[in-house]
Amino acid sequence: MIDLTKVSHHPCIEELTNLLCIKTLNQDKNFYRPLIAYFLAVMASSQRAYVHTKDRGNIPINLYVINLAPSGYGKGLSTGMLEDITKEFRNYFMNVTFPTLLDQNLKNLSAQRASLSHIDQQSEYEELLKQSERAGRPIFVFDSGTTPAVKQYRNKLLLAKCGALNFQCDEIGSNLMANTDLMNSFLELFDKGLIKNKLVKNTQDNVRDIDLGGNTPANCLLFGTQDKIFDGSATEDLFYSFLEIGYARRCLFGIGKTMKAKSYYTMSASEMYNQLIQPNNDATAIKWSNTFLKLANPAYYNRRIELPDDVAIQLLEYRKECDIEADKLPEFAGTKKAELSHRHFKALKLAGALAFIDNAPTITMTCLLQAIKLVEESGKSFQTILNRDKPYMKLAKYLMGCDTPQTHADLLEALPFYKASSKNDMMALAQAYAYSQHGLIKKTYMDGIEFFKGESLKATDLDKMILSYSNDVAYGYKNVQVPFKSLYKMTHANTLMHWINHHVKDGHRCDMCSYNKFNMIVIDCDGEINLKLAMDLMKEYTFFVHTTKSNVEPDNNRFRMVIPIAYELELDKEDYKEFMNNILNWLPFHSDEGTNSRVKKWESCSKGSCFGQNINFTYNEGVLLDPLPFIPHTMRNERYQKENKKAIENLDNLARWFAIRISIGNRNNNMIKYALALKDSGLPYPEVEARVLGLNKQLASPLSSEELSNTVLKSVAQGYVKNE
Cα dihedral 343/347/350/354 (nearest 10): 160
d(C-alpha 620, C-alpha 538), whole Å: 9
At residue 648, the pLDDT reads 57
Q: Are strands 218-224 and 439-446 parallel, antiparallel or unpaired?
A: unpaired
* Rounded (10°) angle between helices 180-192 and 147-160: 30
d(C-alpha 275, C-alpha 531), whole Å: 72
Cα diameter, the chain: 125
What angle is formed at CA 179 by the lines to CA 176 and CA 180, rounded to 5 degrees?
85
At residue 95, the pLDDT reads 96
CB atoms near residue 361 (< 10 Å): 10
Q: Is 433 helix (H, G, I), strand (E, B) or coil?
A: helix
Q: Where are the beta strands (DSSP E) in 1-73?
A: 50-53, 57-60, 64-68
Are residues 689 and 658 in contact, defined by beta-carbon separation less than 8 angstroms?
A: no
Alpha helix ranges (H) inside 47-143: 75-85, 87-92, 98-117, 121-134
Are residues 252 and 37 in contact, defined by beta-carbon separation less than 8 angstroms?
A: yes
Report the amino acid identity of residue 32.
Y
Query: Is residue 707 within a helix (H) or strand (E), and if so which, with residue range?
Result: helix 705-707
d(C-alpha 509, C-alpha 78), whole Å: 61
d(C-alpha 605, C-alpha 602), whole Å: 10
DSSP state, residue 633 = T
Give every strand in the sheet of 465-470, ordered side by side.
478-482, 465-470, 498-500, 602-603
d(C-alpha 567, C-alpha 559), whole Å: 25
At residue 199, the pLDDT reads 44
At residue 262, the pLDDT reads 47
DSSP state, residue 341 = H
d(C-alpha 234, C-alpha 446), whole Å: 33
Are residues 690 and 653 in contact, defined by beta-carbon separation less than 8 angstroms?
A: no
DSSP string, 167-202: EEESSHHHHTGGGHHHHHHHHHHHHHS--PPPP---
d(C-alpha 263, C-alpha 260), whole Å: 8
Report the amino acid identity of residue 134.
R
**Cα dist from 362 to 8, 52, 384, whole Å:** 19, 9, 34
Please name every residue paired with 58 in a beta bridge, in sequence order, or none if there are none.
Answer: 52
d(C-alpha 451, C-alpha 140), whole Å: 54
At residue 197, the pLDDT reads 65
Question: Which of 437, 393, 388, 434 is closest to 415 using CA atoms?
Answer: 393
d(C-alpha 583, C-alpha 128), whole Å: 87
Torsion-angle region of 665 (φ positive above 0: left; ψ -120 to 50: alpha; else: beta): left
**Cα dist from 674 to 402, 620, 683, whole Å:** 46, 21, 12
At residue 303, the pLDDT reads 96
Over the chain (724 residues), what is each successive 10-residue block's mean pLDDT? 88 96 89 96 97 95 95 89 97 96 91 81 86 88 92 91 95 92 94 72 52 85 89 87 95 79 68 86 95 96 97 96 94 92 97 97 97 96 88 90 92 87 88 85 88 91 96 96 93 89 96 96 86 91 87 68 95 94 91 92 73 69 94 83 63 82 74 86 87 84 85 83 64
Q: Is 139 helix (H, G, I), strand (E, B) or coil?
A: coil
Q: Is the dihedral of CA 5, 6, 7, 8 positive or negative?
A: positive
DSSP string, 221-276: EEEE-HHHH--SSHHHHHHHHHIIIIIHHHEEEEE---SS-HHHHHS-HHHHHHHH
Question: Which of 129, 134, 227, 125 is closest to 174 using CA atoms?
Answer: 227
Residue 79, CA atoms < 13 Å, CB-side half-sphere: 20
d(C-alpha 434, C-alpha 455), whole Å: 8
DSSP state, residue 601 = -
d(C-alpha 334, C-alpha 343), whole Å: 14
DSSP state, residue 307 = -
d(C-alpha 458, C-alpha 307), whole Å: 57
Report the amino acid identity of residue 510.
C
What angle is formed at CA 248 by the lines to CA 245 and CA 254, rounded to 5 degrees?
150
| CA 703 from centre of chain | 45
Are residues 592 and 530 in contact, defined by beta-carbon separation less than 8 angstroms?
A: no
Query: Is residue 130 within a helix (H) or strand (E), and if so which, with residue range?
Result: helix 121-134
Q: Cα-flanking dihedrals φ and ψ of residue 616, to 5°?
A: -125, 20
Alpha helix ranges (H) inside 453-544: 487-491, 531-537
CB atoms near residue 608 (< 10 Å): 21
Start-to-end CA distance of the chain, whole Å, equals: 72
At residue 92, the pLDDT reads 97
**Cα dist from 303 to 15, 362, 407, whole Å:** 25, 10, 63
Query: Is residue 318 within a helix (H) or strand (E), and if so which, with residue range?
Result: helix 309-328
Torsion-angle region of 634 (φ positive above 0: left; ψ -120 to 50: alpha; else: beta): beta
